[in-house]
């Protein structure tokens, strides 16, 4: 499975999601973060799931807005998810929060690299 991407930008997305998970779990007794990659039709999905108990509905509506943060003053800029979403969308993909997961899960959905037809020289 292959995706067409700017590698440093995809790394930025994953790091933002993992760092957010780490920060959110700071006071939790059970701490884990899992990354999972799957193929679905013409897309590759990268899910980042942590042991948190999810995000409340009123917060879900705001999480991708620039400068929105639930972190203490001085501990976050509120730009991580907004930047990550912008990068994913620039790759013709989607970043969303999975509200059906019992834990906290974000999913990055990116189009697969489509094979280019080979032209034959005459």
> What are 4's two structure tokens?
């067409």
CATH of residue 76's domain is 3.30.565.10
The verdict on residue 99 lying in a domain is: yes
> What are 73's two structure tokens?
């003053």
The verdict on residue 35 lying in a domain is: yes
| Cα–Cα distance measured from residue 24 to residue 70, given in angstroms and rounded to the nearest whole number | 9
The verdict on residue 37 lying in a domain is: yes
The verdict on residue 70 lying in a domain is: yes
The verdict on residue 104 lying in a domain is: yes
> What tens digit of pLDDT does each residue of 74-105 get?
677 788 899 999 999 999 999 999 999 999 99
The verdict on residue 65 lying in a domain is: yes
The verdict on residue 82 lying in a domain is: yes
The verdict on residue 72 lying in a domain is: yes
Residue 70 confidence (pLDDT) above 70: yes
Q: Which residues of 66-98 are buried (b: 16+ CB within 10 A; e: fewer)?
A: eeebeeeeeebeeebbbbbbebbeebebebebb
What domain count does the chain have? Answer: 1
Residue 119: pLDDT band (50, 70, 90) is low
Res 120: pLDDT: 59
Residue 38 confidence (pLDDT) above 90: yes
99: domain range? 7-111
């Amino acid at each position: 499975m292959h995706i067409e991407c700017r590698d440093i930008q995809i790394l930025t997305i994953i790091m933002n999601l993992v760092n957010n998970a780490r920060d959110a779990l700071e006071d939790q007794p059970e701490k884990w973060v899992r990354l999972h990659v799957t193929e679905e039709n013409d897309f590759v999905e990268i899910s980042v799931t942590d042991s948190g108990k999810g995000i409340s509905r009123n917060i879900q509506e705001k999480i991708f807005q620039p400068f929105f943060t639930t972190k203490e003053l001085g501990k976050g800029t509120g730009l991580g998810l907004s930047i990550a979403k912008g990068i994913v969308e620039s790759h013709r993909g989607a970043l969303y929060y999975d509200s059906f997961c019992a834990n906290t899960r974000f999913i990055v959905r990116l189009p697969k690299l489509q094979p280019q037809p080979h032209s034959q020289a005459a």
